[in-house]
A and B are shown apart, each in its own frame.
Chain A
Amino acid sequence: DSGVTQTPKHLITATGQRVTLRCSPRSGDLSVYWYQQSLDQGLQFLIQYYNGEERAKGNILERFSAQQFPDLHSELNLSSLELGDSALYFCASSVADSTDTQYFGPGTRLTVL
């Protein structure tokens, strides 16, 4: 158990819908990272937040957004969902920056029908 929790574990929804994925980092970790893992793209970095502020941005679509709250939990919002958004979404946390070990959560499997 990494100490990072993600909910829900599975999510099935339809095209055009909007979903919210939630992540609670390890106690004491200030940075939260979101990744997408799909069959054809591997593990793709989406975005990082550090202590409530956006720190780094990867290949995140404009339909996707994230935030980190004062209690340091984070949410990833995916809107206008397409079939191609079906993937595993992982959250990771680290103490501070990306040279600190990132601990990954168990992931949320999103299926868009």
Chain B
Amino acid sequence: GESVGLHLPTLSVQEGDNSIINCAYSNSASDYFIWYKQESGKGPQFIIDIRSNMDKRQGQRVTVLLNKTVKHLSLQIAATQPGDSAVYFCAEREGEDDKIIFGKGTRLHILP
């Protein structure tokens, strides 16, 4: 199956370079944020999360930064590889409500 979201913004990155994907969230009451990766024909896959009492969290080759002042979230991928090619979604949990709201997504394209 094809990926959804023909109107997604696209980020093109040279293989081996670092990628930075940005996301603006809407609700200042959101207390939990997640990044998902969706490859073509598959469901979203959890990458990393961060709670609102943190500014930064690191995983394997990925780092999430949270700036609550400007309601901005970013995902940094170090040494981007061809397998990183996918659509990346940020998501927020709105306060005590258990709803997870997804952003529109960014398509990451890896240049050889």
Within the complex, the shortest CB–CB distance from B47 to chain A, in Å, comes to 10
Within the complex, the shortest CB–CB distance from A111 to chain B, in Å, comes to 11
Contact B104 A45 (CB under 8 A): no
Residue of A nearest to B43 (CB): A104
Contact B97 A56 (CB under 8 A): yes
Q: Tell whether A37 is near chain B: CB-to-CB under 8 Å.
A: yes
Known: A39-B4, A39-B6. A44 touches B32 (CB 8 A): no
Contact B99 A45 (CB under 8 A): yes
Q: Tell whether A15 is near chain B: CB-to-CB under 8 Å.
A: no
Q: Which of B7-27 contact A (CB under 8 A)?
A: 7
Contact B93 A99 (CB under 8 A): yes
Contact B46 A101 (CB under 8 A): yes
User: What 1/0 mask marks residues of chain A from 47 to 68 whose CB sits below 8 Å from any chain B CB?
Assistant: 0100000011010000000000
User: What 1/0 mask marks residues of chain A from 75 to 101 whose CB sits below 8 Å from any chain B CB?
Assistant: 000000000000010101000011101
Interface residues on chain A, size class: 20 to 34
Contact A38 B46 (CB under 8 A): no
Q: Tell whether A107 is near chain B: CB-to-CB under 8 Å.
A: yes
Q: Tell whether A102 is near chain B: CB-to-CB under 8 Å.
A: yes
Measured in the bound complex, the distance between the Cα atoms of B6 and A97 in whole Å is 32
* Of the residues A2, A42, A105, A106, contact of B5 by C-beta under 8 Å: A42
Within the complex, the shortest CB–CB distance from B14 to chain A, in Å, comes to 27
Residue of B nearest to A106 (CB): B43
Known: A33-B100, A55-B98. A43 touches B32 (CB 8 A): no
Q: Which residues of B contact A102 (CB under 8 A)?
A: 34, 46, 100
User: Which 4 A-B pairs give the minimum distances between C-beta atoms?
Assistant: A104-B43, A56-B98, A43-B102, A98-B98
Contact surface of A with B, Cβ cutoff 8 Å: 2, 4, 33, 35, 37-40, 42-45, 48, 55-56, 58, 88, 90, 92, 97-99, 101-107, 109
